[in-house]
Amino acid sequence: MEIIERLKQIEGIKLLYVCEAGSRAYGLHNEESDYNIRFIYSMPLHSYLNLFGQKEEMEIQEEHFDIVGWDIKKVLRTVSKSQTNLYEWLASPVVYYEDSGFLPIRKCLLEKGFSLRTLALHYISMARNNYKKIINRENIGVKSCLWVLKPLLMAKWILEKNELPPVNYKDLIQLRTSIKNKLEKLIVLRKNNIRQVPFTRDLEYFIEQEMDLGMKKIISLEENERLTEDSLNQMFIQMVSSGWNRMEQQVPEMGKDVILLMKSISNNQYYYAKAYVLGSGRFTINGKVFVQNIITNSYEPVAWLYIEEPSKDFMDSVFVKEK
């Protein structure tokens, strides 16, 4: 897609992931459906040292295209809240682009980033809110009805299978329900752009019953193992240091003080260290000489966090962790 190449050309970001959200990801699109494109990006290391922070979201509106991007920092922070929208981005069956370095991160986030209980609760709440818009009507919009049933089925999947649900409707309707045939017909109607259907009693009963049963089941659902905040922070460091200001891409001037991001060989943790550049690819940390691009028995130099003429206060601050 041309839009992917345009996203790659946005100055100052590294594109990590681009997917489809909304009706095309759900398998419910028709000829009138727009493209709901979502992307994830990272920025240069120095952007994350901005005293007043940086913008963590981008929006691009064009005819037939609704495009929203999130900075990786916002993504990882939002994962800890188990937000449904972000889950559906990461689990989207329609992926337009993915950086090879982001693939293992995304898989890890899907495996251990989201709380099943929180997702189920969010989905039932979403279904309940959408249901309020169609209750007590003789005829309802096909799309409105499907937008009640989708989160309800996703919650049902979690509660019955104790696993993350698929995003595509075709997979969701494999669940055993009393209205499977009606669900299949609704999908066909939506794809053929039929707008209205009667709101039958069996459909109303199914929605209300599943909402009530779901809330009761959530209480007994055990919490799954999840990533800690420290693990998410390590992911953040890994992503923003990968491909930005790598050791081979930027060499600070001789006689300069810099901050160096180091990766421990023993435990794969990341540390900040104050370094002094000697020149010819050499630098010192606490009086010990290191050579650029050479991995020692203890640490691998990862990236410079170069600050021109850093103040003593900054170099001695809590942001610099000497190891």
| Pair 105, 122 in one domain | no
What pLDDT shows up at residue 299?
A: 66
32 pLDDT higher than 90: no
Q: How confident is the model at residue 188 (pLDDT cuts 50, 70, 90)?
A: very high
| Pair 51, 142 in one domain | no
Residue 233 lies in a domain: no
What pLDDT shows up at residue 310?
A: 43
Average pLDDT over residues 274-289: 75
> Which of 220, 235, 260 is the last residue in one of the domains?
220
Residue 304 — φ and ψ, nearest 5°? -85, 135
172 pLDDT higher than 60: yes
Give the number of C-alpha atoms closer than 13 A to the C-alpha of residue 185, restricted to the C-beta side.
8
Between 30 and 238, name the one with better pLDDT: 30
Between 50 and 208, name the one with better pLDDT: 208
302 pLDDT higher than 70: no
> Which of 83, 112, 141 is the last residue in one of the domains?
112
230 burial level (CB within 10 Å; 0-12, 13-18, 19+): exposed
The reported pTM is 0.75
| Pair 27, 45 in one domain | yes
| Pair 68, 130 in one domain | no
Cα separation of 16 and 239, whole Å?
9
> Which of 112, 130, 159 is the last residue in one of the domains?
112
Residue 229 lies in a domain: no
What pLDDT shows up at residue 137?
A: 85
What pLDDT shows up at residue 253?
A: 67
| Pair 297, 278 in one domain | yes
| Pair 79, 153 in one domain | no
Residue 7 lies in a domain: yes
Cα separation of 187 and 200, whole Å?
16
State both tokens at 297. Answer: 């028995």
| Pair 139, 107 in one domain | no
Average pLDDT over residues 166-186: 92
53 pLDDT higher than 80: no
| Pair 96, 78 in one domain | yes
| Pair 194, 138 in one domain | yes
**What mean pLDDT value characterizes the chain?**
83
Average pLDDT over residues 79-99: 95
Residue 251 lies in a domain: yes
Between 89 and 55, name the one with better pLDDT: 89
Residue 239 lies in a domain: no
Domains: count for the chain:
3
Average pLDDT over residues 186-199: 91
Residue 99 lies in a domain: yes
What pLDDT shows up at residue 43?
A: 86
Residue 84 lies in a domain: yes
Between 54 and 299, name the one with better pLDDT: 54
| Pair 90, 14 in one domain | yes
Q: b/e for 173-192, b at 16 or more Cβ within 10 A?
A: beeebebeebbeebbebbbe
| Pair 165, 148 in one domain | yes
Provide the residue range defining the domain that includes 278: 247-315
Residue 10 lies in a domain: yes
Between 314 and 98, name the one with better pLDDT: 98
318 pLDDT higher than 50: no
| Pair 131, 63 in one domain | no
